[in-house]
Amino acid sequence: MSAPGRPGGPGSPRPLGVAAIGYGFMGRAHSQAWRNVGAFFDVPAVEQRVLVGRDAGAVAEAAARYGWAESATDWRQAIARDDVDIVDICAPGWLHAEIAIAALEAGKHVLVEKPLANTLAESEAMVAAAQAARSRGVQSMVGFNYRRVPALAYARRLIAEGRLGTVREVRASYLQDWLADAASPMTWRLRKETAGSGALGDIASHAIDQVQYLLGDTVTEASGRLHTFVGRRPGPGGDLEDVTVDDAAWATLVLAGGAVASVEASRVATGKKNSLRIEVYGTEGSLAFDLERLNELEFLDAASGPAAEQGFRRIVVTEPEHPYLGAWWPQGHVIGWEHTFVHQARDFLTAIRDGAAPSPSFEDGLQVQRVLAAIEDSAAAKSATVHL
């Protein structure tokens, strides 16, 4: 349990101070979560102390817009502050390990965006730091925010209750098209030294985490293929630069419980904006979900009647008894993608208050990283199966 008087614990003398590292896409999403979580959930009070970024002018403007008290350009100074209790890492993957380990060693609770890091070695070092910090009451969590989609959390509940029977197969695809145009410019996400990998680490990591999360199981074997469709893209000066990561990834996974999953991820799937689709097939039923309709779950109960009358039914996941939704609006009033980050902040703050282990842990993030590495190894070996 949290020690009495410790920020966020019982009898806490002050709110938990948060420092966020990174103010881009993820920094903005996390900022609105810290700003709103206390308005909807019973959690320890937080204060948005400082937003950190490399460009002093841009981060100052973002801090004012996103509700932060201050801005800074040096993350080391931010984590050393006595009024900072939580470090929220929204920076690119190549910075995750250094910042997270330093923050944990400084006694700060750490939330880090997925994937945990760019390499297995970095991920393992982060887990070691998290385990050492945990013994001192310091918590850590990796941000797989789709665990906080109410429909997916409800799907996990149905599977755990045995409503699908024994799960045999899972199909998971995460398709986007923001790189479908060959003229789309280079970014840090297209360079291996900064991104680690392309569609594999960026979005296949979400699909892999969902496979393991929904089934409450662990991948033990993986085979895969990676492909780069557009090998060169225009850089800042207009000259073409080499793309050194994958545009798309495919994998077959075997889980410890015997289920087999297929995973596909692409950032060049024309017409797909942000489609994380998951289908789970069991001996007694099936379910399906698509992020582009995130308030809905398709469910088939094979034991509910004769085969001639069976079919998938649409569940609108907006009832107060559905996960997280009792804090929001009357039933039928849908929520959106950004709410997953509010739920994530809620779960992390609750874990800090209760002295409980947050989920997904750094160990969970490392397990996903092992699967990603196995897929890369299989792709390099041209279809060999890799045992984890």
Task: Answer whether residue 112 shows pLDDT above 80.
Answer: yes
pLDDT (0 to 100) of residue 3: 45
Per residue in 343-373, pLDDT tens? 999 999 999 999 999 999 999 999 999 999 9
C-alpha 321 chain-centroid distance: 24
Pair 44, 36: CB distance under 8 Å: no
What is the spatial distance between Cα 133 and Cα 144, in angstroms, rounded to a whole number?
21
Task: Give strand pairing partners of 251.
Answer: 224, 263
pLDDT (0 to 100) of residue 10: 53
Task: Answer whether residue 1 shows pLDDT above 50.
Answer: no
Per residue in 248-300, pLDDT tens? 999 999 999 999 999 999 999 999 999 999 999 999 999 999 999 999 999 99
Per residue in 303-316, pLDDT tens? 888 888 889 999 99
Per residue in 144-157, pLDDT tens? 999 999 999 999 99
What domains sit in the chain, N to C, each tagged with a CATH number?
16-145 (3.40.50.720), 150-293+295-335+367-380 (3.30.360.10)
Looking from the CA of 178 toward its CB, the CA atoms found within 13 Å total: 15
pLDDT (0 to 100) of residue 4: 43
For residue 289, give Cα distances in angstroms to 275, 276, 280: 10, 8, 9
**Which residue intervals of 106-240 are DSSP H helices?**
120-134, 150-160, 192-195, 199, 205-215
pTM listed for this prediction: 0.94
Report the percent of the chain where pLDDT is more than 70: 96
Pairing between β-strand 46-52 and β-strand 386-387 as defined by DSSP bridges = unpaired
